[in-house]
A and B are shown apart, each in its own frame.
Chain A
C-alpha cells in the first residue's frame, strides 16, 4: 500500500493544453514536495509546501497544499514539450524525517 497516491498515472496532452495532477494520502504531512525527473537523471525539486491551504506559483506551474495537509495538486498552464517528464510528490511526516515518494505521474506533452 502506497502512503502517497498520485493520479493520473500517465497523461499525454497536446502543447498548449492545461493539466492538473494530484497527490493524495490518508496521512498528514508536515511538508510536501514536488519533483520533476527526466529519464536517466535524478529528481529535481520544484517546490516545497508546508502550510495547509498554501498556494505557490512557479511560472506556469501552480502548486497547492490541501487545508488538512493530506493532499496536493500541481497545475500546469499552457503545457510545453519541455514539461515532459515524471512528476513525483514526496512528503515528510515530521520535520527532519525522510521523505516518502509517490509512484509519480508520467507526463508527455506532444508538439
Chain B
C-alpha cells in the first residue's frame, strides 16, 4: 500500500454530467498529480498541484479542473462528460518535486 487513497472506486455517469474525484496524498507529501489511463494505454498527465497551486498541465481541455486543499488532498473535476472520458483516473503524490511518486489505486469512471 502506498498510503495514497482515492474515492470513489468506481463511478458511472451519463454524457453531459459533471464528476468530482478525490485523492488523499501520502502523509508529508505536498505534490499531487492526476493522470488519465484509457484501457490498454499508459497514463496521460492531466495536471499537477504543488502547495495548492497548479504548476503543470497536460493536453487536456479546460473542462478538466482541479483543486488542492491545505491538507494537500486534491480533487479532479470534469464537466460536460464525454464518452471518451471513460478511463481509470489515477492520482500520485510525492514530497516536493522529488522523483519518487506514489500512485493511488485509481477511480474507474464509465460514461454512458
Residues of chain A at the chain B interface (Cβ within 8 Å): 4, 6, 31, 33, 35, 40-45, 48, 50, 88, 90, 92, 95-104
- B90, A43: Cβ atoms under 8 Å? yes
- B106, A95: Cβ atoms under 8 Å? no
Residues of chain B at the chain A interface (Cβ within 8 Å): 2, 4, 33, 35, 41-45, 48, 56, 58, 90, 92, 96-97, 99-106, 108
The total number of A-B Cβ pairs within 8 Å is 59
- B42, A98: Cβ atoms under 8 Å? no
CA distance A98 to B43 in the complex (A): 12
CA distance A100 to B100 in the complex (A): 14
CA distance A11 to B98 in the complex (A): 32
- A45, B102: Cβ atoms under 8 Å? yes
Instruction: Using CB atoms, name the residue of chain B closest to A103.
Output: B42
Chain B CB count within 10 A is highest, among A35, A98, A103, for A98
- A102, B99: Cβ atoms under 8 Å? no
Besides the contacts A6-B42, A31-B99, what 11 more A-B pairs have beta carbons closer than 8 Å?
A40-B106, A42-B105, A45-B100, A88-B42, A92-B99, A96-B96, A98-B48, A99-B45, A102-B42, A103-B42, A104-B41
Q: Which residues of A contact B99 (CB under 8 A)?
A: 31, 33, 48, 50, 92, 95
- A42, B90: Cβ atoms under 8 Å? yes
Q: Which residues of B contact A40 (CB under 8 A)?
A: 105-106, 108
A sample of 26 cross-chain residue pairs with beta-carbon separation below 8 angstroms, ordered by A number, consists of: A35-B103, A40-B105, A40-B108, A41-B106, A42-B2, A43-B103, A44-B2, A45-B100, A45-B101, A45-B102, A45-B103, A88-B42, A88-B43, A90-B42, A95-B99, A96-B96, A97-B56, A98-B33, A98-B58, A99-B45, A100-B45, A101-B35, A101-B43, A101-B44, A102-B42, A104-B41
Q: Which residues of A contact B33 (CB under 8 A)?
A: 98-99
Q: Which residues of B contact A95 (CB under 8 A)?
A: 97, 99
